[in-house]
Amino acid sequence: MPSGVTSAMGIGPADCRGVPVSYADRDAIEALEKAHECALAFRGDAIGLTDDILREHPNFIMAHLFKGAWLTQAMETRIYSEMVDAANKAEALIGSANDRERGHLEALQAWLHGDFFGAVQKWEAVLTLYPKDLLALQLVHLTDVLLGDVVGQRDVVARVFNLWDESVPGYEYVLGFYSFGLEENRDFFLAEEMGRQSLALRPDNPYSVHAVAHVMEMQGRQAGGIRFMADHQDRWGTSNFANHLWWHKSLFHLDLGDVDGVLDIYDNHLRNDDPQTTKYEELDAAALLWRLKLLDIDTGDRWAALAERWEPSAQDTLYAFNDVHAMMTFVSDEREEAQAKLLSANERYVESASDANVAMSREIGIPFCLAMQHFHKGRYGACVDTLLPVRYMTHRLGGSFAQRDIIGWTLLEAALRSRRFDLALGLANERCALKPTSMQNWTYVKRAFQGLGDRDNAARADARAQSLKAA
């Protein structure tokens, strides 16, 4: 990093990208860059490093703001007080802050008030003034993913991309964000190119491995996906993103019908009894077991162990995306009390609160929770009736297309089990149109034709499925 960098305005201290920082200690600024790099590269302990900096430099406002901002992304109630503390300490120092730092504080405060979309607006305003503010760019992109703003997660990068190149530190991460945003908007070719460019600059960038894995998932390139993940495993396997990337690898195996491969990944990489496990890891585990449940595969005691871990979060109502994954475990392990707690907490919450998560819970979160209860109890028709009206709105739940696919998949399985074969055929056809190389999708077409008594078309679909499985 060049020393003595000045801000874009040419005056005052700045970070290695020329973005102004009001606190003039060069060592502190460089140390914060290292902490940020941990967050960007999903390695090490970004918060721990920031705490170290703040012990020595308690008046370094940008370090407080970074800590609060990075904690927002955890979407967990247990770190809420730390976020509040970071915001309060930053606010106490605001008198000597610059406009960029004031913008970051406003964003963090909006978040703490539950106005997640408002926080994005504030970070976007900072980015507009400082297009090389990598933290603002990262936060807008990642929050758009959390909130299901599909277009925003791509266009926040497009807005500033021509101001970045290899000479700007952190460019490889910007390529990774762009890659994922393009992928979610189905621009698969450019997404893969950006992701691979990023990996050429920095092979140990799990976010870019992730973006390319998503491209392969969406395009149904299962064998290539397994190979790609294996080829890069030494770069992502030890990162803080490893759990989610193992989940992605398991999806490729699942689509090929390789249940042993899926369970092997679950038991060796997703099942975790460490109490420090993050919510993200538990999300992936639940999401994988639910898919196996849809395929009628017995997963033994795995649900019970996982439900135990989710139970303390039953009344969080912080993030609908978490709640639906908690519900998968409560339903599957038949924890009636936990289900009731989760639903009543959600009902009370949507009645009384006005934060950004209310709409996500009301529109998608609660209906999907109810649909899962119907499914498990064998009320397949009710499951279909609950999910059918919301199936094209599921992006409002946040997460990725690959993650939310679980909703459409549940709907299709329920349609078949409720013997609504015309509907099941339509739904299966949609899935095949989007991913024609999926063995699972063609198996669903086959089952729908079988239900309709169309043996010829069922045989044709089965031939396609078998050939894809063997590919």
Nearer to Fe ion, 400 or 410 (CB): 400
- Least Cβ distance, residue 400 to Fe ion (angstroms): 5
Q: How many CA atoms lie within 13 A of 252 on its CB side?
A: 22
- Least Cβ distance, residue 272 to Fe ion (angstroms): 18
Residue 231: helix, strand or coil by DSSP? helix
- Least Cβ distance, residue 144 to Fe ion (angstroms): 14
- Least Cβ distance, residue 398 to Fe ion (angstroms): 12
Per-residue burial over 383-394, b = 16 or more CB atoms within 10 Å of its CB, e = otherwise: bbebbbebbeeb
- Least Cβ distance, residue 107 to Fe ion (angstroms): 25
What the block records as the tokens of 283 is: 């999300």
- Least Cβ distance, residue 209 to Fe ion (angstroms): 10
Nearer to Fe ion, 287 or 292 (CB): 287
- Least Cβ distance, residue 192 to Fe ion (angstroms): 15
What the block records as the tokens of 37 is: 């790099």
CA distance 169 to 434: 37
Handedness of CA 257, 237, 298, 417 (dihedral sign): negative
Contacts with Fe ion by CB under 5 A lie at: 400
Nearer to Fe ion, 215 or 371 (CB): 215
Nearer to Fe ion, 394 or 400 (CB): 400
The distance of Cα 26 from the centroid of its chain, to the nearest Å, equals 34
Closest CA to 414 of 373, 375, 467, 388: 375
Q: Which residue is nearest to Fe ion (CB)?
A: 400
Q: How many residues does the chain have?
A: 471
- What number of H helices and E strands is found in the chain? 26, 0
Distances (CA, A) of 397 to 286, 363, 471: 16, 8, 34
Nearer to Fe ion, 109 or 400 (CB): 400
The 3 state secondary structure assigned to 75-96 is: CCHHHHHHHHHHHHHHHHCHHH
- Least Cβ distance, residue 306 to Fe ion (angstroms): 19
Nearer to Fe ion, 50 or 400 (CB): 400
Nearer to Fe ion, 90 or 245 (CB): 245
The one-letter code for the residue type at 161 is: F
Nearer to Fe ion, 172 or 217 (CB): 217
Residue 178: helix, strand or coil by DSSP? helix
